[in-house]
Amino acid sequence: MDNNFNTKQLSEDTKNILGLQLPTDPRWVDLAGISLAEILTDHAYCEQKAATTCISLIQKNSDKEKLVNELAPIVTEEWGHFRLVLQELRKRNLQLGKQRKDEYVNKLLVFQHKGGSNEDRFLDQMLTMALIEARSCERFKRLSEGLKDAYLSNFYRRFMESEAGHYTLFIGLAETYIDAAKVRKRWAEWLAYEAEVMQTLEVRGDRIH
């Protein structure tokens, strides 16, 4: 994790937060605020999927020592976040709903290299995770600033602070095993593609992405 990445940097980067080319539509926070059961349910499953994806990456890349060592604590952290969101649902007498199809993530998966070299596929796996983490952090920032529920606003600020460095971790892992210039070139392509994806998605308050 990038220990130099802090919330001061996060707050200063308004238009291009975390490298993202398109900020979240302001209407999203208002919609999320009136769909708390749905947004918390979706958030819980996002944290669960982050943990299980990191487990899968460790299993598939057990020969990469740095990856194993750095993702192992992320599994614990993301699963802990899943439990925190469950606790928040229970506290509000809300039920964990059904897991939905993640249209945002599915659109990102379309952009991944499916053929080609193992290196290209590994790079896209790392950058997909980096992008999901960056967008999630941006959404947590929006919630922390825009929700009228003061407790929940602080709840999401803590998530934002906790996860702010995750996207740089995945980029750093990619650069550990792949030439940095190649990583940065592909990352720019991913950022451009993600901006196009965001423009195609309906603004809905029942999902994190």
Residue with tokens 């990856």: 67
Secondary structure letter of residue 66 according to DSSP? H
Tens of each residue's pLDDT in the chain, 209 residues: 333 434 344 334 333 456 899 999 989 999 999 999 999 999 999 999 999 999 999 999 999 999 999 999 999 999 999 999 999 999 999 999 999 999 999 999 999 998 889 999 999 999 999 999 999 999 999 999 999 999 999 999 999 988 888 999 999 999 999 999 999 999 999 999 999 999 999 999 899 99
- Does the pTM surpass 0.85? The reply is yes
Domains of the chain (ranges; CATH) run 28-99+111-200 (1.20.1260.10)
Q: What are phi and psi of 31, to 5 degrees?
A: -65, -40
